[in-house]
């Protein structure tokens, strides 16, 4: 297989996929995006599929567990985009890369509309659907193999890596230490939170709307965590990805939370933890930016950009009272 910087030749990807899946003829293939996995778009007249090819550090066990969770939630009536199985009824497609065997999972395009900025009715539908998702997820068993997004696990696994990567940026490293200490103190005061399986990367690009139906997809970060993590991630994305103003983000988030609480009320402790977990999501993003060389063979972002992102962690805390009533 011809490979350039760990990106496989698109025609070879298409040929391997067609050998293992019952798909229509005449499809084309293109690299769609790169992130924690490479995503290829397979498309033809009236058909569109997405093949996600994961990094070697993603274990088959973890990928299979994510599929199992999504499947179980789907059985409970949650609208979720599920992957295809191969002709041999397998979930994973093995692909050879210079760095080792990587596995792919094939999805059909999630049905529904991609909405850049949902209206009030859609926001409320999202809040109700997410609450129903969380209620259903609480009933699922918690296999030992499940990833955890709880702060203690994040602190143990990722903070030391952030420290080592920020060694040359002392002011940024010191600011990071201050924010991690503040998050830790706040969450210790909050105590144990209701937990279950969460989507893990809930933002508007991972949601489709069809009237009152809300469909979730892209479960690559599905993990066992406090249920509020999804709300915190949504809030984080409104401020850091969508380009919304603070007031726009606040009003959007209020609509979602009001509808969410009509199905699953949030405890006082959960509300106090919303901002700390939004900060944790931003810290995870900083960690990913610092890992770009390992993932893609390219240099990490500049020290100035990293400092801006760590400053944003502090700003999230300062905006807390305005964002979460």
* Rounded average pLDDT per 10-residue block, the chain, 325 residues: 57 93 95 88 95 81 86 93 94 83 91 95 98 92 60 64 62 79 89 91 95 91 91 95 90 97 97 93 82 61 77 88 76
Look at strands 213-216 and 207-210 and give their pairing: antiparallel
pLDDT, position 243: 83
Phi, psi angle pair for 118, to nearest 5°: -60, 150
Residue 53 parent element (H or E): strand 47-54
Domain 120-323 in CATH: superfamily? Aminoglycoside phosphotransferase (APH), C-terminal lobe (3.90.1200.10)
Q: The domain 3-108 belongs to what CATH superfamily?
A: Phosphorylase Kinase; domain 1 (3.30.200.20)
pLDDT of residue 254: 96
Strands of the sheet containing 100-108, edge to edge, are: 28-34, 37-44, 47-54, 100-108, 93-97
Query: How many alpha carbons fall within 13 Å on the CB side of residue 63?
Result: 21
pLDDT (0 to 100) of residue 5: 41
DSSP 35: S
Smallest Cα–Cα separation from 219: which of 36, 4, 9?
A: 36
Q: In the prediction, which pLDDT does 59 show?
A: 79
Number of H helices, E strands in the chain: 12, 11
**Segments making up each domain of the chain, as ranges:** 3-108, 120-323
Strands 3-4 and 7-8, by their bridges, are: antiparallel
The alpha-helical segments, DSSP class H, found in 139-169 are 151-157, 159-165
Question: What SS3 state is found at 97?
Answer: strand
Contact status, residue 224 vs residue 142, Cβ threshold 8 Å? yes
Query: Count of CB atoms within 10 A of residue 94's CB?
Result: 12
Yes or no: say if 150 and 225 are a contact pair by the CB < 8 Å rule: yes
pLDDT number for residue 76:
93
């Amino acid at each position: 297989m011809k490979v350039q910087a760990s990106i496989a030749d698109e025609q070879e990807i298409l040929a391997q996929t067609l050998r293992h899946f019952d798909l229509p003829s005449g499809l084309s293939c293109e690299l769609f995006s790169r992130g924690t996995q490479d995503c290829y778009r397979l498309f033809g007249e009236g058909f569109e599929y997405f093949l996600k090819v994961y990094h070697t550090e993603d274990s088959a066990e973890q990928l299979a567990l994510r599929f199992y969770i999504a499947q179980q939630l789907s059985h409970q009536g949650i609208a979720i985009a599920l992957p295809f199985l191969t002709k041999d009824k397998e979930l994973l497609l093995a692909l050879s890369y210079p760095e080792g065997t990587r596995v792919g999972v094939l999805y059909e395009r999630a049905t529904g509309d991609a909405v850049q900025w949902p209206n009030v009715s859609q926001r409320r539908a999202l809040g109700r659907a997410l609450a129903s998702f969380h209620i259903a997820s609480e009933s699922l068993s918690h296999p030992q193999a499940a990833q955890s997004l709880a702060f203690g696990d994040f602190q143990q696994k990722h903070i030391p890596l952030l420290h080592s990567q920020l060694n040359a940026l002392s002011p940024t490293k010191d600011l990071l230490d201050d924010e991690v200490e503040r998050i830790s103190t706040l969450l210790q005061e909050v105590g144990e939170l209701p937990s279950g399986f969460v989507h893990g990367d809930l933002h508007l690009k991972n949601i489709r709307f069809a009237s009152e139906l809300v469909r979730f997809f892209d479960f690559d970060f599905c993990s066992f965590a406090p249920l509020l993590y999804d709300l915190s991630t949504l809030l984080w994305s409104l401020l850091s990805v969508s380009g919304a103003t603070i007031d726009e983000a606040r009003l959007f988030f209020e609509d979602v939370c009001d509808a969410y609480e009509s199905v699953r009320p949030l405890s006082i402790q959960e509300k106090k933890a919303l901002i700390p977990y939004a900060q944790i999501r931003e810290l995870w993003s900083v960690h990913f930016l610092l890992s770009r060389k390992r993932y893609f063979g390219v240099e990490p972002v500049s020290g100035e950009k990293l400092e801006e992102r760590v400053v944003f962690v502090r700003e999230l805390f300062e905006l807390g009272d305005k964002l979460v009533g």
